[in-house]
């Protein structure tokens, strides 16, 4: 079995991290919790999901550095913080308000993993269904 691509999670809020981890698994990748912004470069993750609250007051320097190093960044934050969302977007992240981000996460993950050059693998349940047809 090939190694699954890793998606770094800079998401300290457990209530947000659980559905994000589920979506990551759902597209055939594995999640890696990152302790803080400084851990991103050491995580060997081609894609990073960042709660922009962890990068306040200005997410641009960190995101810009990650993007320049080849990391695809998916970011989210409160819809009422337009300046924060805009700064992250200008730095090169794909950014959406939190509610829209969670709703669109599977498609965002597939696009990000493809952009990073690591195609998502089929979910275990899909390969099991095919195996069952052979018997």
- pLDDT digit string (tens) for 7-49? 999 999 999 999 999 999 999 999 999 988 888 977 689 999 9
Distances (CA, A) of 125 to 10, 74, 96: 27, 26, 29
Whether 126 shows a pLDDT value over 50: the answer reads no
Domains of the chain, first to last: 6-133 (3.40.50.2300)
Q: Residue by residue, what is the 3-state secondary structure of 21-53?
A: HHHHHHCCCEEEECCCHHHCCCCCCCEEEEEHH
Backbone φ and ψ for 93, nearest 5 degrees, come out as: -85, 155
């Amino acid at each position: 079995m090939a190694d699954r691509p890793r998606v770094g999670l800079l998401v300290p809020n457990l209530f947000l991290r659980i559905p994000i981890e589920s979506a990551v698994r759902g597209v055939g990748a594995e999640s890696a919790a990152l302790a803080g912004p400084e851990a991103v470069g050491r995580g060997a993750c081609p894609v990073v999901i960042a709660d922009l609250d962890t990068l306040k007051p200005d997410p641009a320097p960190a995101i810009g550095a990650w993007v320049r190093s080849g990391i695809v960044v998916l970011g989210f934050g409160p819809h009422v913080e337009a300046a924060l969302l805009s700064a992250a977007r200008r730095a090169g992240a794909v950014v959406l308000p939190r509610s829209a981000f969670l709703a669109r996460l599977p498609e965002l993950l597939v696009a990000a993993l493809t952009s990073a050059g690591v195609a998502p693998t089929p979910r275990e349940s899909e390969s099991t269904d095919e195996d069952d047809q052979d018997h």
